[in-house]
Structure 1
Amino acid sequence: MGFIGETVDSIKSTPIRQTLSQFVTLGMIVSSALIIWKALMCITGTESPVVVVLSGSMEPGFQRGDILFLHMSKDPIRTGEIVVFNINGRDIPIVHRVIEVHERRDTGEADILTKGDNNDMDDRALYAYGQHWLQRKHIMGRAVGFLPYVGWVTIIMTEKPILKYILIGALGLLVITSKD
């Protein structure tokens, strides 16, 4: 009699255990992604080890939708390097080439001027009001590699936010409803 009661109890608790297990699995996936991202930040020395090219300003070198891999070292920034930089008051980083560097020997700092390869003029019009040069604090990282077109997923989800929510919902539902 005890055996039958235990079997009925285990059958009743199985869906709850399965659901809890699936939520734990989803949590582990999200946690793993965050840990990998933080590890990449430490290894590359940049707050954003990966960025997506959002405009055509760097064509033909980089196309809209290319993913760039960034690294930041203590080496001086040189003319010709492709850098990703942030401007005060702007949320989205910019990917452009360094066209001029003026090093100040007394302080060791440098004034940096950038330009998109596909643009006619330098980036002074993009900088914050009254800013004519970038400093090292504005540079997020240097491009060290790229993956063509993979970033289109990010662009599409940014331009059509409903797709982002559908995709996240579908992935969450897939993890929760999977049997094993």
Structure 2
Amino acid sequence: MLSGVADTMRATSWRRQMAQFVQMLHVIAMALAVWKGLGIVTNSESPVVVVLSGSMEPAFHRGDLLFLTMGSKPIEVGEITVYSVPGTEIPIVHRVTETRPNPKKRHGQLLLTKGDNNHGDDIMLYKGPRWIRDDQIVGRVQGYVNLTLTVTDSFPMLAM
């Protein structure tokens, strides 16, 4: 009789573990589906990014979530873009300060950017070229959520 109870408990425990595992897979699949869906809707490979530095203060702070889109219209001076530089993994969030046509690509653009909190433009970040190409743009900032204030208000010990 006692061995029957132990067997039932083991079976229940195993079933519960399997159910939790399946639920975890479901959560991961849903998160991936939402991410991919956002990418399709916004036409951006990274529809949401996190600000990692203070170079765009006071507009954005470390920890802010930025929501990106990729439109088909030319990028204009003053727009805040997220771009990638070949050879680096971390995208950069900066404001476009100058644009010009790309002579090597029909309807292409060359862009010069600068962080709002930086003294100079981003030429040193481009690793060689004086301009970034419009095909290096990951997205245009359309909105943001300031998570830094939320977290540091809730957990003051995390404020730096």
TM range (shorter): 0.7 to 0.9
CA deviation vs aligned residue, 1:40-83 (integer Å, no higher than 9, x gap): 11111111111111111111111121111100011110000000
Q: Superposed, which structure 2 residues align to 1:84-103 within 5 Å?
A: 84-103=82-101
Residues 61 and 148, structure 2, Cα contact 8 Å, conserved in 1 = no
Q: Aligned pair in 2 of structure 1 residues 14, 125: CA closer, same or farther (>3 Å)?
A: same
Deviation at 1:9, TM superposition (A): 6.7
Structure 1's unaligned 5+ residue stretches are 1-5, 154-180
Residues 66 and 149, structure 1, Cα contact 8 Å, conserved in 2 = yes
Between structures 1 and 2, the one with greater helix share: 1
Residues 53 and 151, structure 1, Cα contact 8 Å, conserved in 2 = no
Aligned twin of 1:128: 127
* Aligned partner (choices 68, 73, 76) of residue 75 of structure 1: 73
Q: Matched residue of 2:87: which SS? A: coil
Residues 65 and 152, structure 1, Cα contact 8 Å, conserved in 2 = no
Normalising by the residue count of structure 1, what TM-score does the alignment of the two structures yield? Answer: 0.74
CA deviation vs aligned residue, 1:128-168 (integer Å, no higher than 9, x gap): 22x11111111000000000135998xxxxxxxxxxxxxxx
Deviation at 1:107, TM superposition (A): 2.0
* Aligned partner (choices 6, 23, 26) of residue 25 of structure 1: 23
| CA distance in structure 2 between the partners assigned to 1:11 and 1:55 by the alignment | 52
Q: Superposed, which structure 2 residues align to 1:25-64 within 5 Å?
A: 25-64=23-62
Aligned twin of 2:156: none
Structure 2's unaligned 5+ residue stretches are 152-160
Residues 95 and 116, structure 1, Cα contact 8 Å, conserved in 2 = yes
The total of aligned residue pairs comes to 148
Q: Aligned pair in 2 of structure 1 residues 152, 122: CA closer, same or farther (>3 Å)?
A: farther
Where in structure 1 do 4 or more consecutive aligned residues deviate above 3 Å? 6-12, 150-153
Name the Cα RMSD after superposition.
Answer: 2.4
